[in-house]
A = this chain, B = another copy of it.
Amino acid sequence: MSGQSHDHPHETGDVKASGWFDPSQSQAPVLDFERGEYEDRVARTQREMARRGIELLVVTDPSNMCWLTGYDGWSFYVHQCVLVPVDDMPLWFGREMDVNGAKQTTYLPFGRLIGYDDRYVQSPDVHPMDHLADIIKGYGWGARVIALEMDNYYFSAKCYTSLRAHLPDARLEDAAALVNWRRLVKSPQEIAYMRKAARIVEAMHKRAFEIVAPGMTKKDLAAELTYSGIVGVDEEGGDYPAIVPLIATGREASAPHITWDSTKIKKGDVTFFEVAGCYKRYHCPMARSIFLGKPPQHILDAEKALLEASERAMEAARPGNRCEDIANAFFTTLRGLGFDKSSRCGYSTGLSYPPDWGERTISLRSGDTTELKPGMTLHFMPGLWYDDWGLEITETLLITEGAVECLANVERGLMVKD
């Protein structure tokens, strides 16, 4: 995890508020954060760009686009991006028909919203990035050091080869997850949204425990979970989570990323469901497992080991420790109790869009030396997947000055219903 600098979030931004408001815009957008918070995010991104010698950043990850500008909409199935110059306000670039959505959801002046013609959409002959290159040149940035999110969602190989071909004078670099790393420490408002998401995921699990019974189909459980997640709590609805409910039962539960089908939940099987509450695109993921009937000894042993190892891991989740300290505490304890797991036991979470509610920065595994800081939020995800069963009992953690906080309050353990 070398090469990742940690900046100081939530300072006053460098970008002046006066430059960010266009009084000619008749209708104010609906923003989920104060304008100053967006300015601070852009300023922190620009500071890191300056530190790395990057003059222009092309941001395609929808989560990063939203975090920087507020842009929200299911338009990421076509190419779009936010351009961040190191010394100026961002620009939004997307399909012409989505400009109205950008007007409604971002603080950007309309002059900073650039729509491209529909003929660029999914065409074998022309590519939106061909056009973006012309725009970049039009702004006089054609010979800049331009960083691309080379491994972030929706930045395809063709996006890269198009920009490379059409910006021959630019120096193209890999920004990697530059913006994602800026998002690690959450602001008070972000944490408030994640707490709302936690209330929603609590309601989802409560509903699941009420209704699961032998003979219930997984699709009906998925429908109920999804319904609860969108209806939300206290008149405040939930958004679509970045991942749909993952529901598996019996032998299927050996596979962590199965969704659901119309078959029935049976007595004598473990069923797990991994879901998230989502509020203003902020997630609180949580998985629980349920057993209908009397659990066999190997499942009870696994539960005991999982809970014990989770306790040790959460004790290590405190400021000053490293991410790998959480993982090492977990894996050492788990192995000592006779179980094993070959995958990471968690990752950072927060604002996201499909296909992932992780932030693609921290992974809880040996070798991740990221220092834990108050305000970080992690999905601690110690799933066990054996050849003919699986067990998932997870928590979304908030790192605080003191002991770690579990954002959602759902009894931790194998839920048993007889």
* Contact surface of A with B, Cβ cutoff 8 Å: 1-4, 27, 30, 72-77, 95-98, 100-101, 103-104, 117-119, 121-124, 127, 148, 150-161, 174, 176-177, 217-220, 222-224, 226-227, 230-232, 235-240, 243-244, 246, 251-252, 254-262, 342-344, 347, 354-356, 358, 360, 363, 365, 367, 385, 387
Docked complex Cα distance between A224 and B354 (Å): 21
Q: Is there an interface contact between B100 and A254, defined as CB atoms closer than 8 Å?
A: yes
Q: Is there an interface contact between B158 and A75, defined as CB atoms closer than 8 Å?
A: no
Chain B residue at minimal CB-CB distance from A352: B77
A98-B257, A118-B344, A150-B157 known; A356-B127 Cβ under 8 A: no
Q: Is there an interface contact between A232 and B27, defined as CB atoms closer than 8 Å?
A: no
In the complex, what residues of B have CB within 8 A of residue A219's CB? 230-232, 237-238
What 8 additional pairs, Cβ within 8 angstroms, besides A98-B256, A98-B257?
A: A98-B255, A100-B385, A103-B255, A150-B161, A156-B156, A219-B231, A223-B226, A223-B231
Q: Which applies to chain A's interface (DSSP): helix, strand, loop or mixed?
A: loop
Q: Is there an interface contact between A122 and B226, defined as CB atoms closer than 8 Å?
A: no
In the complex, what residues of B have CB within 8 A of residue A237's CB? 217-220, 222-223, 260-262
Taking the closest CB of chain B, its distance from the CB of A373, in whole angstroms, is 19
The 8 Å CB contact of A158, one of B72, B150, B252, is: B150
The 8 Å CB contact of A77, one of B76, B243, B254, B363, is: B243
Q: Is there an interface contact between A75 and B344, defined as CB atoms closer than 8 Å?
A: no
Docked complex Cα distance between A124 and B138 (Å): 33
Looking at A76, A251, A255, which has the most chain B CB atoms within 10 Å of its CB? A255
A156-B155, A230-B219, A232-B219 known; A121-B240 Cβ under 8 A: no
A–B complex contacts, Cβ < 8 Å, 25 sampled: A3-B124, A27-B251, A30-B261, A95-B343, A96-B342, A98-B256, A98-B257, A101-B257, A118-B343, A118-B365, A122-B360, A122-B363, A123-B363, A124-B176, A150-B161, A153-B156, A154-B355, A155-B156, A157-B160, A160-B160, A219-B232, A220-B231, A226-B227, A240-B259, A354-B354
Q: Is there an interface contact between B358 and A355, defined as CB atoms closer than 8 Å?
A: no
Docked complex Cα distance between A226 and B222 (Å): 10
The 8 Å CB contact of A257, one of B74, B150, B235, B244, is: B74
In the complex, what residues of B have CB within 8 A of residue A239's CB? 259-260
Taking the closest CB of chain B, its distance from the CB of A307, in whole angstroms, is 21
Docked complex Cα distance between A357 and B174 (Å): 30
A122-B363, A156-B152, A342-B118 known; A355-B74 Cβ under 8 A: yes
Q: Is there an interface contact between A244 and B240, defined as CB atoms closer than 8 Å?
A: yes
Taking the closest CB of chain B, its distance from the CB of A279, in whole angstroms, is 10
Docked complex Cα distance between A101 and B358 (Å): 21
